[in-house]
Amino acid sequence: MHAWPLPRNRVITVRPSYPAIPPYNPHMDIAALIAQYGYAMVFLGTLFEGESVLLLAGYAAHLGYLDFVVLTGVAGLGALTGDQFFFWLGRRHGTILLRRRPALHGKVQRALDLIQKHPAGIILAMRFMWGLRIALPVAVGLGKVNRWHFFWLNLASAALWAPLVGGTGYLFGALLSRHLAVLHRVEHWVMLGLVATLLILRGYLHSRHIRS
């Protein structure tokens, strides 16, 4: 009988398969960052003078990155918390604070003059008064306004301010998308432009207030 040769051992190399790397998409990065840190940034920003942050957040809510109802709730809570802190600071350590921060003295004195004339109206409108946002609750703390009276007025002011300012940013996004068909391609540049514009405007108003 004819003997057939046995097959030789073959070395088979198995190449691992890697998942395909998707192309870089800056829109996904911005959306992920805003979705992950957006509410925290809004809360921190509204602890102080947070109009700029809230306007941008309202625009982001129109783009679908944030939920508008949650956004206004977080913004209102941050504004309420910040003003309550500055009220407490004025009531407990107002004199020491003005002694250590003489630049704040003029603003607090101006705020005191306003509060003496229209205490309830000024407290309700204090979030719309640029340049006095921190000085006003400090001045109220230095005055004779009852802390619970200030709290309820402050709560009402925050409940009005948050949806109004956030809604302005939301409506801006709606108007922009209506007249700009390619908004989804340039939305990240629009947001950067808004940030730059708001920072420039804020710096201008701040320097003008200092000169005056």
pLDDT confidence tier of residue 71, bands split at 50, 70 and 90: very high
> What is this structure's pTM?
0.69
How many Å apart are CA 49 and CA 132, to the nearest integer? Answer: 9
Q: Which amino acid is at 113?
A: D
How many Å apart are CA 125 and CA 127, to the nearest integer? Answer: 6
Task: Kindly report, residue by residue over 120-164, the tens digit of the pLDDT.
Answer: 888 888 888 877 788 889 888 888 888 999 999 999 999 999 999
Length of the chain (residues): 212
Q: Give the range with max mean pLDDT: 135-144, 154-163, 178-187, 200-209.
A: 154-163
Closest by Cα among 121, 119, 41, 50 to 80: 50
